[in-house]
């Protein structure tokens, strides 16, 4: 329970810091931001970096805690299923060398990995929607 309170306090502090830095950015105006004045946007990026680092750290800690305290077989099955989905998505993707907006070239390998990410997202979205529909149908058809 104490860890929950600490995390809540940290979340509030980061939220307040984000609001304060947003107010500072808004009060300086568009021209100062477009001119690239130092110290205008930097505090907000530091708050974002700290928040991202804390979220990543807590996620890793709680995932590892859950893995070692829970059922390792189910965890490995879920990770294996995800790897299979990524492999299927990689097989469905093709790589084409593409010129980007800044004039640089995206390699065929990079293009294939972008396609893999998109296909993985689509497959997982379809599975999630299917699971929700299946759950809803089962709830409607079962009698109490």
Q: What is the pTM of this model?
A: 0.59
79: tokens are 């990770």
Cα–Cα distance list, 22 to 17, 35, 101, 117 (Å): 8, 18, 30, 32
Residue whose pair of structure tokens reads 């809540």 in the numeric block = 8
Span 42-61, average pLDDT: 88
Task: Note every long-range contact of 45-52, with CB atoms under 8 Å and residues 24 or more positions apart, other chains counting.
Answer: 47/14, 47/17, 47/18, 47/21, 48/18, 50/14, 51/14, 51/18
Share of the chain above pLDDT 90, in %: 43
Is residue 29 predicted with pLDDT exceeding 80?
no
**Mean pLDDT across the chain:** 88
């Amino acid at each position: 329970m104490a860890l929950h309170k600490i995390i809540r306090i940290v979340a509030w502090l980061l939220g307040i810091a984000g609001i304060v830095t947003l107010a500072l950015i808004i009060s300086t105006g568009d021209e100062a931001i477009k001119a690239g004045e130092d110290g205008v946007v930097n505090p907000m990026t530091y708050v974002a970096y700290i928040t991202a680092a804390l979220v990543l750290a807590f996620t890793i800690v709680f995932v590892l805690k859950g893995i070692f305290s829970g059922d390792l077989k189910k965890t490995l099955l879920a990770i294996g299923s995800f790897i299979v989905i990524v492999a299927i998505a990689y097989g469905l993707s093709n790589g084409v060398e593409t010129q980007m907006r800044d004039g640089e070239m995206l390699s065929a390998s990079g293009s294939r990995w972008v396609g893999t990410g998109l296909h993985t997202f689509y497959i997982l979205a379809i599975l999630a929607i299917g699971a929700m529909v299946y759950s809803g149908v089962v709830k409607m058809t079962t009698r109490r």
